[in-house]
Amino acid sequence: MEFPLDFVRGNFPSLADPERVFFDNAAGSQVPRSVADAMSGRPATHAAVQKGSWEELGQTIQRARESVAVFLNAYQPEEILFGVNATGFIRLVSTAFGELLKAGEEIVVTELDHQANITPWLDLKSRGIEVKIWPVEADARLDIARLDTILSDRTRLVAVTKASNAVGTIVDLIPVAERIHARGGHLFVDAVHFASHGPLDVRFFGCDFLVCSGYKIFGPRMGFLWAKREALDALPGLRQHFVADQAPDNSRARTYGYQDVAGMDAAIGYIEELGRRSRELPLAPADAIGRRGDVRRGMQAIRHYERDMTGHLLRRAGEIPALKIHGIDGPDYDAYRTPTLCFSLNGMAAAEVSRQLAQQGIAVRDGHQHCPRLMRALGLSESEGGVRASLVHYNTFEEVDLFAEALARMSASVRVSK
């Protein structure tokens, strides 16, 4: 299948500058024109106190909830909650879930995760909850055999990312779900990084909770939470006394940012349109119908294109002798990583590498990427971390070449100076 790259890049006005290469997408993606238009349109900005506008805003919220439900393959739109960001939802669920636990019961978190999906669960230790750490392997994978040694009959929840924002590792959630459900527990998934790289399917994953941030998937700076309806209704609602105690309202304590909700709906619409332009991509019959089929095709097209680009990225990076890749770089990269490259350039501080790349018009990011435990496990400094180049589907093979050529020049200059 030929990826419609011209269509894709034509949707993002910020990509028009040929002198600029944006490889910092894990910190926040660029926004399609349709999203910006939706956020400035009448349903997003019209004052709710004016006649007839409350119904219009309500329709905007419902339409966005239905779109996100399609994006996630949720069972019903009422399972979707909108809020400030994924971090806030993780804190909300961890606090509420902690009220259901007894002292001595256990939660598992991982070394692979962003701190946002670790710290809120660790804070439950003050209530007598035991929090166990699932460590990463040398190549930044999570070994399911290790989890088998950690789980017990007291384990009530596993909190894990679908993909690492720091090194790109993709986690197979199905065996995790099977193991925790066999013990009567829950699976909480941070999908923030993976959501821009491949199809999300909460039914297929077998999870109970999933969080995401819109600004990582070509949308506005907002977040959403999905949870099974029975799981949502079981949580003690962090709400005002006048809000109904059932999903989706039992976790809402403020007025929605309507412009953000409208933008989120438009972001899903962009993925749908990409899917309609990728109709030749085969899908299982159950996935090939209606909006869900278009969304899934859009995300499948992204995944296929990015797998090829990831291979090119790893090959070009591997040609630079002074460059060390942190994470998966073997032949099975296509199944287990996103095009997110964490690396070190021998003899140069991470901050200096990103500074010199920025001078050449290439935006990357240095630091621990809010994953200090992962940095330590990979032998990197918790404070300095590594350099991260994070690509998405609007990036190009030509940009990868420019990136690699810039690094090769920098590597040569390091060797000469020595």
- Asked whether residue 83 carries a pLDDT value surpassing 70, the answer given is yes
**Claim to verify: residue 223 and residue 306 sit in the same structural domain:** no
Helix, strand, coil % (nearest 5) of the chain? Answer: 50, 15, 35
| Residue 227, strand partner residues | 209
Residue 243 pLDDT > 50: no
Same domain, 47 and 9: no
Same domain, 359 and 250: no
Of 270, 290, 318, which residue constitutes the final position of a domain? 270
**53 with 190: CB under 8 angstroms?**
no
Alpha-carbon distance of 204 to 187, in angstroms, equals 13
pLDDT at 50 over 50: no
| Residue 58 included in any domain | yes
Phi, psi torsion values for 146, nearest 5 degrees: -65, -40
- Copy the structure tokens of residue 119: 């710290």
What SS3 class is residue 152? Answer: coil
pLDDT tier at 283, thresholds 50, 70, 90: confident
Is 156 a domain residue? yes
Task: Give the whole-angstrom CA distance, residue 342 versus residue 261.
Answer: 33
Determine the pLDDT at residue 51. Answer: 47
Kindly report which listed range (52-56, 130-134, 170-174) carries the lowest average pLDDT score.
52-56
Is 11 inside a domain boundary? yes
- Same domain membership, residue 44 and residue 12: no
Confidence check: pLDDT of 288 > 80:
no
236 and 183 inside one domain: yes
CB 129, CB 105: distance < 8 Å: yes
Tell me the pLDDT tens digit for each residue of 266-279. Answer: 999 999 999 999 87
What pLDDT shows up at residue 239? 46
| Residues 72 and 167 occupy one common structural domain | yes
Give pLDDT, residue 253: 41
Query: Is residue 408 classed exposed, middle or buried when 0-12, 13-18 and 19+ CB atoms within 10 A define those classes?
Result: middle
Residue 257: pLDDT band with limits 50, 70, 90? confident
Whole-angstrom distance, CA of residue 260 vs CA of residue 221: 7
Count Cβ neighbours within 10 Å for each residue of 117-129 and write b for 16 or more, e otherwise: bbbbbeebeeeeb
Q: Write out the two tokens for 96.
A: 């509420």
The pTM (predicted TM-score) of the whole model is 0.93
Asked if residues 111 and 373 have their Cβ atoms less than 8 Å apart, the reply is: yes
pLDDT level of residue 414 (50, 70, 90 thresholds): low
pLDDT tens for each residue of 87-107: 999 999 999 999 999 999 999
**Are both 14 and 74 inside the same structural domain?**
no
- Structure tokens that stand for 166 in this block: 């720091």
| The predicted structure's pLDDT at residue 289 | 82
Specify the CATH number for the domain of residue 239: 3.40.640.10
Task: State yes or no: pLDDT of 242 exceeds 60.
Answer: no
The CATH number of whichever domain residue 408 belongs to comes to 3.90.1150.10
Q: Same structural domain for residues 259 and 115?
A: yes
Residue 173: C-alpha distances to residues 134, 304, 413 (Å): 14, 20, 43
Q: What does the pLDDT read at residue 42? A: 59
Question: In this structure, what token pair is assigned to residue 342?
Answer: 């964490």
Mean pLDDT of 313-327: 95
Q: What is the DSSP letter of 169?
A: B
What's the confidence (pLDDT) of residue 410?
94
At residue 45, the pLDDT reads 57
Closest listed residue to residue 103, CA positions, set 130, 76, 83, 84: 130
Q: Could you please report the per-residue DSSP string of 264-291?
A: HHHHHHHHHHHHHTTTTS---GGGSSHH
**Within this chain, do residues 310 and 393 fall inside the same structural domain, yes or no?**
yes
Eight-state DSSP code of residue 163: B
**Shortest CA distance to 395 belongs to which of 27, 29, 36, 37?**
29
pLDDT bucket at 416, cuts 50 / 70 / 90:
very low
Distance CA 117, CA 90 (A): 7
Please state which of the ranges 120-134, 240-254, 402-416 shows the lowest mean pLDDT.
240-254
Q: Based on the structure, what is the number of domains in the chain?
A: 2
Q: Count how many residues are written for the chain.
A: 418
The domain containing residue 220 runs over which residues? 35-270
pLDDT at position 241: 38
**Lowest-pLDDT range, 76-85, 324-333, 397-406?**
324-333
Q: Is the pLDDT of residue 254 over 80?
A: no
pLDDT of 240 reads 37
DSSP classification of residue 351? H
